[in-house]
Chain A
Amino acid sequence: MALFPDDNDLVFQFKNGINKEIPFTQIIKKHQEKLYWHIRRMVVNHEDANDILQNLFIKVWKGLDQFREDSQLYTWLYRIATNECISFLERQKKRLSISLDDDNSFLTEKLQAEKHFDANKLEWKLQLAIQQLPEKQKIVFCFRYYEEMPYEKMSEILQTSQGALKASYHHAVKKIENFMLNN
């Protein structure tokens, strides 16, 4: 696995260096994989995830000079990624005239269209269960389950109290359990 400089150093080089492309390319390479999987689990489809990820980095390129470094770059990137995913899903729901509450059936359809999808396999069943969750619970569950993110970090990204996040995670796990046992 490639070793990358510290985020603070990369941001410093971007803001003060002559060639911004070198540190920015390293920022992309350093964070792309985790961000991609975070986005992919939210939107399911690879093409959508790819578009969102590229848009995200284009926005970061434009905004990094103004990044105040009150939070870590990693936190900022995740926050943008999460907002981009939520906006994307809301746009899709509006386009499909679906209520914004919790109808994620279009995501289930996308999941079923995935290559190698097999509803009898546990890992796909888990994905189906995750897509039934309300967006906030889905984000919290994925952060915790897949990325092993501490609540403290999650709290910074989602700007929600740790207590509320623990409750969301608990609800999410219970809903997933219920889905797994009844489907």
Chain B
Amino acid sequence: MNRAQEIHTELNAISHTVAAIPFNNPYALPKGYFNGMAEAVMGKIDAGQQTVSLNNDFKQSANQGIPSHDELMSLPTTSPNFEIPENYFVNNPEVIIHRIHSDKKTSPIYIGIIFKLSVAAICTGLLGWLIFMGLNNSSTGTIPTHELTEAARIVKTNSFEKEMDALDDNEIISYLNASGHDVKTAIVASLTVENNLPAPEEYIFDEKTLDNYLHAVNISEINYLHQSTIY
């Protein structure tokens, strides 16, 4: 008894009704569909595509094969009420592919700018506090004179941005450490502002979204920067 007979006998033993159903495949398949599959997959691999978008709204005719890029672009569209730049949708795929290929790592220079921005808020607060204390509590004798003078000079010369630019990453990290801030958290927090966060639904549909995002943030580089300053 071959396998097909064996399976039919088994099915017949469980249910005569199901076993009696003619074995027909009712699903329609686009003509020549399998002829183009390997090329379509290799094309996407060559283009560096991560995964195919699961576009459920696009209803391809059952008589067509996998549509080419040109076929997709030539599909009729409804006129939208919102205006878009000319050729936006024509150029968009290339832009997206370019973005996929581009290195998402954050450069140390970029991190430096983010550091400076992060610490700017803290320094601004500190300056304000020093001036406030200087104006109101000068009689207590507890004002750090040097800092107050320095703050007054910065305010007077309006050179805050220049002073910020003069600071290097190590000075900022030392300052944050000395003032009891968690440097790593500050960096990650500032990076998350700069990077495009995944959309909320991505967390629902893909449990690895957070892992992928943290990987993209490139924590190892941050660790290196942090450790090189501490030790």
Give 10 pairs: A residue, B residue, CB < 8 Å, sorted on A. Answer: A29-B34, A33-B34, A46-B27, A51-B52, A52-B54, A58-B51, A95-B205, A117-B26, A180-B17, A181-B17
Q: How large is the interface on B (under 10, 10 to 19, 20 to 34, 35 or more residues)?
A: 35 or more
The answer on a CB contact under 8 Å between A58 and B59 is no
Nearest chain B CB to A15 CB, angstrom units: 16
CB contact under 8 A between A48 and B56, given known A32-B34, A177-B15: yes
A70 contacts partner chain B, Cβ-Cβ < 8 Å: no
Q: Which of A46, A54, A169 contacts B52 (CB 8 A)?
A: A54
Q: Contacts A24-B42, A28-B38, A94-B205 given: A46-B30 contact, CB under 8 Å?
A: yes
Secondary structure type dominating chain B contacts = loop
Interface residues, chain A, with chain B CB atoms under 8 Å away: 21, 24-25, 28-29, 32-33, 36-37, 40, 45-48, 50-55, 57-59, 61, 88, 91-92, 94-95, 114-117, 121-124, 126-127, 144-145, 148, 150, 169-170, 173-174, 176-177, 180-181
Chain B CB within 10 Å, residue with most, of A46, A145, A174, A181: A46
- Give the shortest distance, in Å, between B33 (CB) and chain A (any CB): 8
Q: Are A124 and B14 in contact (CB under 8 A)?
A: no
Q: Once the chains bind, are A121 and B26 in contact (CB under 8 Å)? A: yes
From B3-11, B135-143, B185-193, B215-223, the one touching the partner chain is B3-11
1/0 per residue, CB under 8 A from A, across B29-63: the answer is 11001100110111011000111111110111010
- Other than the given A40-B27, A115-B62, A169-B14, 14 more pairs (CB < 8 A) read A25-B42, A29-B38, A36-B37, A46-B30, A50-B60, A52-B54, A94-B205, A126-B18, A144-B7, A173-B11, A173-B15, A174-B14, A176-B18, A177-B14
Task: Name A's interface SS.
Answer: helix
Q: Are A53 and B22 in contact (CB under 8 A)?
A: no
Contact B25 A54 (CB under 8 A): no
Check B58 against A47 for contact (C-beta < 8 Å). Answer: yes
**Are A21 and B26 interface neighbours, CB within 8 A?**
no
B40 surroundings in chain A (CB, below 8 A): 54
Residues of B within 8 A of A (CB): 3-4, 7, 11, 14-15, 17-18, 21-22, 24-30, 33-34, 37-38, 40-42, 44-45, 49-56, 58-60, 62, 66, 204-205
Top 4 nearest A-B pairs (CB, nearest first) are A28-B38, A177-B15, A123-B24, A123-B26
